């Protein structure tokens, strides 16, 4: 599950859950209290990937850093099932929806949502506190109190699940 690429071995904090069926490769730094669920691939063989404290990478998500485009998944962000982040930045408390794609040099702002199935093209930036959707993604509205509450509850539930999985596998403490 954790693999070197050349001289680069991922650095993972002890209180992070990485499922045995996830793959973390190369120049990856994973912070505290993160969760990487089954089937996720985090591959940094061309540039660096940073996953900050509390970030969650769900099942079958793919995070890759092509040369010249390091990836950053900021604090408490959620990268949903089957999403792809290919050289982008996901802001603090942001959500990359199920099956969404972020391409090289794109940025999803803090507390923003990229809706399920959306495409954030190369170089496109979504400001903080926006909901965007479509192919290509366009801003549709500001986030609201319910969006923030939903994110907070979902994030908390995912971290609690990660704690249970971690205890079941007795790999560490979260």
Average predicted confidence (pLDDT) for the chain: 95
Max Cα separation, the chain? Answer: 46
C-alpha–C-alpha distance, residues 65 and 89, integer Å: 10
pLDDT of residue 170 exceeding 70, the answer is no
Q: Give the pLDDT confidence of 139-150 residue by residue, as tens digits.
A: 999 999 999 999
Contacts by 15-24, CB closer than 8 A, 24 or more apart: 15/172, 15/173, 15/174, 16/172, 16/174, 17/162, 17/163, 17/165, 17/166, 17/171, 17/172, 17/174, 19/165, 20/169, 22/57
pLDDT bin (cut points 50, 70, 90) of residue 33 is very high
Residue 134 pLDDT = 98
Q: Domain-by-domain residue ranges, the chain? A: 2-169
For residues 122 and 168, the model is more confident at: 122
Q: Give the pLDDT confidence of 70-119 residue by residue, as tens digits.
A: 999 999 999 999 999 999 999 999 999 999 999 999 999 999 999 999 99
CATH architecture, domain defined by 2-169? 3 Solenoid (2.160)
């Amino acid at each position: 599950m954790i693999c070197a690429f050349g001289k680069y071995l991922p650095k993972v904090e002890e209180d992070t859950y990485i499922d045995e069926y996830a793959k973390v490769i190369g120049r990856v730094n994973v912070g505290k209290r993160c969760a990487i669920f089954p089937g996720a691939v985090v591959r940094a063989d061309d540039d660096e990937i940073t996953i900050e404290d509390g970030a969650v990478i769900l099942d079958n998500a793919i995070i890759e850093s092509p040369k010249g485009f390091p990836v950053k998944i900021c604090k408490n962000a959620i990268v949903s099932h089957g999403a792809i982040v290919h050289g982008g930045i996901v802001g603090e408390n942001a959500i990359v929806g199920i099956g969404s794609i972020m391409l090289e040099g794109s940025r999803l702002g803090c507390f923003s949502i990229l809706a399920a199935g959306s495409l954030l093209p190369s170089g496109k930036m979504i400001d903080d506190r926006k909901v965007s959707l479509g192919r290509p993604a366009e801003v549709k509205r500001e986030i609201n109190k319910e969006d923030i509450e939903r994110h907070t509850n979902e994030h908390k539930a995912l971290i609690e699940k990660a704690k249970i999985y971690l205890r079941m596998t007795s790999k560490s403490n979260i």
